[in-house]
């Protein structure tokens, strides 16, 4: 269904966003404290534009949100994305547990 397709691309963006160590590092940092985009850029051995793009990717994945303050843009962690990713992995974990239970049933049946 269409809903699933939307959810799919949302998850695609999410895991895609997490599949880069610079972006994972940004997520960590902005969850602990606040950073401007250039404040983040100063941390990595790459151009400002590259970091700005990373932040944009994280924002589209709801892992980060920005708030304009004067000419600066404050980057903060956004819990929503993390929750969605966790929910999927929890679901998979649940499937594993059911599988384990089924195998136990087979071993003890009859």
Ramachandran region of residue 62, left (φ > 0), alpha (ψ -120 to 50) or beta?
A: left
Rounded Cα distance between 46 and 15, Å, is: 22
The interface mask with DNA, positions 48-87, x = CB under 7 A, is xxx-xxxxxx--------x---xxxx--------------
- Give the end-to-end CA distance of the chain in Å, rounded to a whole number: 41
Per CB under 7 A, the segment of 2-10, 45-53, 90-98, 102-110 that binds DNA is 45-53
With respect to a second copy, which residue has the nearer C-beta, 28 or 53?
28
Rounded Cα distance between 106 and 52, Å, is: 54
For a second copy, the binding residues (CB under 8 A) are: 8-9, 11-12, 14-16, 18-21, 24, 27-28, 31-32, 77, 79, 82, 85-86, 88-90, 92-93, 95-96, 99
């Amino acid at each position: 269904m269409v809903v699933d397709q939307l959810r799919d691309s949302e998850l695609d963006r999410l895991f895609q966003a997490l599949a880069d160590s610079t972006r994972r590092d940004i997520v960590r940092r902005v969850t602990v404290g606040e950073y401007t985009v250039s404040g983040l850029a100063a941390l990595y051995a790459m151009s400002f534009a590259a970091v700005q793009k990373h932040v944009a990717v994280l924002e589209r994945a709801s892992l980060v949100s920005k708030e304009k303050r004067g000419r600066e843009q404050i980057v903060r962690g956004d819990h929503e994305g993390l929750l969605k990713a966790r929910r999927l992995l929890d679901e998979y974990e649940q499937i594993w547990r059911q599988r384990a239970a089924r195998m136990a049933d087979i071993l003890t049946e009859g």
